[in-house]
């Protein structure tokens, strides 16, 4: 982690609120993922944090990318514009998956020239892709258990296993090529059995498709959900990787292409917020601190992502349970109702770590307060 003295120095130089991106932490997370899942190609889920410099660092590390909108596609595309057109085309085919199962028609029309890999999970999408992006390759998004995930996705996305092969065959009849199957076990999944069940369901779909005459699939996309280690209750990634490796080796042939879409796992540890105490009050006997960052800004994950980011002080001393509120004139703007903090004064600084994913990425200008300034370290 960046030394606390350096964070304070950055706050003095740039002011607060501040969102510091540590590129060494980003590289470390990427390399850990690759080390423990060597068969799996990393497609970074850009939605976790679409900062162009994060994309650039991962691009330099050899990552591929999962995008879910044309603006995200363009953030990635900026890194390869210098390549000759033929090399750009090949890079996009190998390195980008458009993993939003439902796409606007104008997006499909814009994507078609790149012949991308896209996901789908219903009949309507098949007909839409056939008409507006017939040159795309397809991956069927399968509905799988999301038990215990911090953010459940299976109610919004995924074809039921019982209809999966019917959809694959319908896409084939429409003149499209289904390259393989994708799934997502839910965001911040600490229940490793979700992956076991999903991989077994997927292997069954592969077998059923072969039994019914479809033999063109050679791609397995195990999605995202890989948990960031926010605290010691999250088991080490190597333990999850061992489970995944065992099931992939048991269920799938050696030549199958395996990819994954980690977002939070890569982005969370690279983000640090630094904020300033702007107000202080005692309410019902409990000290309340008001800081110049909140849930409409860097701490947006408290609301949208069901996540907690402990607020820590640079100052030392005896602590007590306090509340921490954001700067807006909205009662929803509560960072925490129970933080152990020392006695702070206006102007003192606080910080939160592991706040790089689904935080600054969804910050707003609500109530006229701008998002935190972004600073890059170890780039």
Q: Is the pLDDT of residue 101 over 80?
A: yes
Q: Measured over all CA atoms, what is the biggest interatomic distance in the chain, rounded to whole angstroms?
A: 71
Kindly report whether the peptide bond that precedes residue 156 is cis, defined as omega within 30 degrees of 0. no
Evaluated on CA atoms 103, 106, 111, 112, the torsion sign reads positive
Q: Against a cut of 0.85, is the pTM above it?
A: yes
CA gap 54, 267 in Å, rounded: 8
Q: For position 310, what pLDDT does the model report? A: 96
DSSP code of 358?
S
Q: For position 73, what pLDDT does the model report? A: 93
The pLDDT of 212-233, averaged and rounded, is: 94
Mean pLDDT across the chain: 93
Asked if 224 and 260 count as a contact pair (C-beta separation under 8 A), the reply is yes
User: 70-77 and 52-61 are packed helices; what angle lies between their axes, rounded to 10 degrees?
Assistant: 50
DSSP string, 134-169: TT-EEEEEEP---TT-SB--TTTS-B-HHHHHHHHH
CA gap 193, 88 in Å, rounded: 38
Lowest pLDDT segment from 5-19, 66-80, 147-161, 264-278: 147-161
Q: For position 152, what pLDDT does the model report? A: 53
The continuous run of DSSP H or E covering 6 comes out as: helix 4-14
Instruction: Kindly report, residue by residue over 332-365, the tens digit of the pLDDT.
Output: 999 999 999 999 999 999 999 999 999 999 999 9
Instruction: Give the pLDDT band (50/70/90) at residue 148.
Output: low
Q: Is the pLDDT of residue 297 over 90?
A: yes
∠ CA 359-23-372, rounded to 5°:
35
Lowest pLDDT segment from 29-33, 97-101, 156-160: 156-160
**What percent of the chain is modeled with pLDDT above 90?**
85
Instruction: Give the pLDDT band (50/70/90) at residue 59.
Output: very high
| Rg of the chain (C-alpha set) | 22
Selected catalytic residue, list 270, 288, 322, 329:
329
DSSP code of 372?
P
∠ CA 32-181-362, rounded to 5°:
60
DSSP string, 231-278: STTSPPHHHHHHHHHHHHHHHS-TT-EEEE--SHHHHGGGEEEEEEEE
Q: In this structure, are strands 271-283 and 349-352 parallel, antiparallel, or unpaired? A: antiparallel
Q: Is the pLDDT of residue 119 over 60?
A: yes
Going from N- to C-terminal start, the domains of the chain cover: 4-19+270-377, 23-268
Q: Classify 314 as helix, strand or coil.
A: coil
Instruction: Give the pLDDT band (50/70/90) at residue 306.
Output: confident
- CATH fold of 23-268 reads TIM Barrel (3.20.20)
CA gap 135, 129 in Å, rounded: 9
Asked if 50 and 57 count as a contact pair (C-beta separation under 8 A), the reply is no
Q: What totals of helices (H) and strands (E) does the chain contain, helices first?
A: 12, 16
Q: So what CATH class is 4-19+270-377?
A: mainly beta
CA gap 216, 14 in Å, rounded: 54
For the question of residue 329 being annotated catalytic, the response is: yes
Indicate the length of the chain as a whole number: 379
∠ CA 44-50-55, rounded to 5°:
55
Q: For position 156, what pLDDT does the model report? A: 76
DSSP string, 175-193: T-EEEEEEE---BS---TH
Instruction: Give the pLDDT band (50/70/90) at residue 149.
Output: low
Distances (CA, A) of 147 to 154, 261, 278: 10, 19, 40
Lowest pLDDT segment from 118-122, 219-223, 228-232, 355-359: 228-232
First to last CA, the chain: 14
CA gap 193, 183 in Å, rounded: 14
Instruction: Kindly report, residue by residue over 168-205, the tens digit of the pLDDT.
Output: 999 999 999 999 999 999 878 888 889 999 999 999 99
Instruction: Give the pLDDT band (50/70/90) at residue 93.
Output: low
Dihedral, 299, 360, 268, 94 alpha carbons, nearest 10: 150
Q: Is the pLDDT of residue 379 over 60?
A: yes
The pLDDT of 301-313, averaged and rounded, is: 93
User: Which comes out higher in pLDDT, residue 151 or 173?
Assistant: 173
Task: Provide the 10 A C-beta neighbour count for residue 88.
Answer: 15
User: Which comes out higher in pLDDT, residue 150 or 111?
Assistant: 111
Instruction: Give the pLDDT band (50/70/90) at residue 378.
Output: very high
Q: Is the pLDDT of residue 90 over 90?
A: no
């Amino acid at each position: 982690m960046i030394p606390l003295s350096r964070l304070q120095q950055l706050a003095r130089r740039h002011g607060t609120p501040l969102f510091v991106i540590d590129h060494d932490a980003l590289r470390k997370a990427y390399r850990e993922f690759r080390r423990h899942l060597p068969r799996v190609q990393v497609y970074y889920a850009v939605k976790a944090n679409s900062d162009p410099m994060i994309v650039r660092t991962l691009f330099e590390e050899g990552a591929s990318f999962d995008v879910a909108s044309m603006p995200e596609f363009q953030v990635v595309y900026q890194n390869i514009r210098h390549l000759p057109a033929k090399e750009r085309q090949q890079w996009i085919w190998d390195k980008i998956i458009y993993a939003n199962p439902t796409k606007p028609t104008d997006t499909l029309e814009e994507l078609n020239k790149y012949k991308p890999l896209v996901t789908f999970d219903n009949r309507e999408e098949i007909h839409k892709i056939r008409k507006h992006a017939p040159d795309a390759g397809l991956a069927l998004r399968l509905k799988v258990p999301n038990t215990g995930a911090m953010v459940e996705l299976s109610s919004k996305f995924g074809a039921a296993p019982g209809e999966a092969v019917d959809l694959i065959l319908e896409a084939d009849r429409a003149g499209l090529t289904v390259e393989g199957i994708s799934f997502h076990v839910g965001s911040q999944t600490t229940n490793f059995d979700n992956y076991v069940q999903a991989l077994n369901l997927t292997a069954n779909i592969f077998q059923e498709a072969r039994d019914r005459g479809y033999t063109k699939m050679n791609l397995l996309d195990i999605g995202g959900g890989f948990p960031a280690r926010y605290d010691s209750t999250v088991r080490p990634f190597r333990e999850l990787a061992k489970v995944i490796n065992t099931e992939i080796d048991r269920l799938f042939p050696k030549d199958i292409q395996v990819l994954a879409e980690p977002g939070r796992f890569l982005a969370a540890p690279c983000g640090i917020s630094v904020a300033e105490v702007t107000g202080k009050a005692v309410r019902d006997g409990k000290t309340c601190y008001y800081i110049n960052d909140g849930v409409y800004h860097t701490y947006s994950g408290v609301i949208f992502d069901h996540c907690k980011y402990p607020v820590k002080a640079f100052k030392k001393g005896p602590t007590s349970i306090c509340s921490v509120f954001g700067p807006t004139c909205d009662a929803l703007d509560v960072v925490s109702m129970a933080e152990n903090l020392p006695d702070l004064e206006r102007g003192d600084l606080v910080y939160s770590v592991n706040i790089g994913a689904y935080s600054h990425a969804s910050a707003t200008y609500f109530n006229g307060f701008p998002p935190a300034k972004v600073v890059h370290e170890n780039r």
